[in-house]
Copies of this chain bind each other. A is one copy, B any other.
């Protein structure tokens, strides 16, 4: 942000489906403005720019980066472009908010981190689940000792009947179903990144070893998707702590959602209690979003903001505020590197049918 600027000028690089949510925090923030948009589909870029109040439209990233009104970029492109685009932005003196997963491998990320360090600009990896109000409430409770020492995290992603939520056009999904451009499975690498991050968010210990059962389901003659999947892991150190994430696709089941037709639920088990987060993304059941059990009592929260979009709003607001206040956003690149290694270890475990140590990936 220019010293003189009262307002953070933001350039969107890529404006597919998720830009619908990523834009909200900028549009609502009094000290931010979306000033530039860049997309390979210039028609789409133009429609977005108009909807967002008249940002300039660029066909090329370099042109956008040359725009002095752009103080920071929001990168929402396919994963194989992340490393190069983010590095270019940093070199151009822009701050970068990079949609998770940050890169396809650790080496790409390390190069990017080095570039960021040289640039003096902020690179933050954006993972919205950590901003979802029920997740934050659960984390606060854990930090306050509500369940004693966290001992286990269990996540479950329940995907349902297509057509009940967001329409996502198949052609825009193609890159995500190609492991070359995605960096791994659309389910276990791309969506998995969120869940693995939650595994780290709720238990204050590094993950040490992982095991994955992943089935690749054929969608058509040329396309496969990595699900169902069941991932388990062990944290390092004492006390012994374990975690798991399962994703099941119930193609005949109604999952109420305004977004992706799936719902994510978390159970965190501690030495003295249990905590449940009963929704994220969709809304399978009408029930309190956070429930705590301890000492024969449950406490349940009925008025948290539970719309999934809220996590995007809060995550973007935090990025803008962190830049203005000169502090690091909470998602450090170090943390993102660990989550990336976790997600990559899962890919390897599934491919090789064996337990994988994160140290194999992180080295």
Contacts and interface: CB of A to CB of B under 8 A. Distances in A.
Contacts of A270: 250, 253
Interface stretch (A30-38, A293-301, A334-342): A293-301
A290 B294 CA distance: 15
A228 B151 contact: yes
A302 interface: yes
Interface string A144-172: 00001001101010100000000000000
Given A151-B228, A152-B246, A284 B302 contact: yes
Nearest to A289: B286
Contact of A232 (B232, B273, B302): B232
A303 B240 contact: no
Each complex incorporates copies of this chain amounting to 4
Interface stretch (A79-87, A110-118, A185-193, A211-219): A211-219
Interface residues of A, number: 58
Contacts of A256: 296, 302-303
A230 to B, nearest CB: 4
Given A215-B240, A270-B250, A285 B298 contact: yes
B215 A294 contact: no
Contacts of A294: 253-254
A303 B257 CA distance: 10
A158 to B, nearest CB: 7
A224 interface: no
Given A154-B156, A244-B246, A299-B300, 17 more contacts: A151-B249, A154-B246, A158-B274, A213-B232, A213-B234, A230-B244, A250-B271, A251-B271, A253-B270, A253-B272, A253-B293, A254-B303, A256-B302, A285-B298, A286-B303, A353-B355, A354-B354
The 3 closest A-B pairs by CB, nearest first: A296-B303, A215-B240, A252-B272
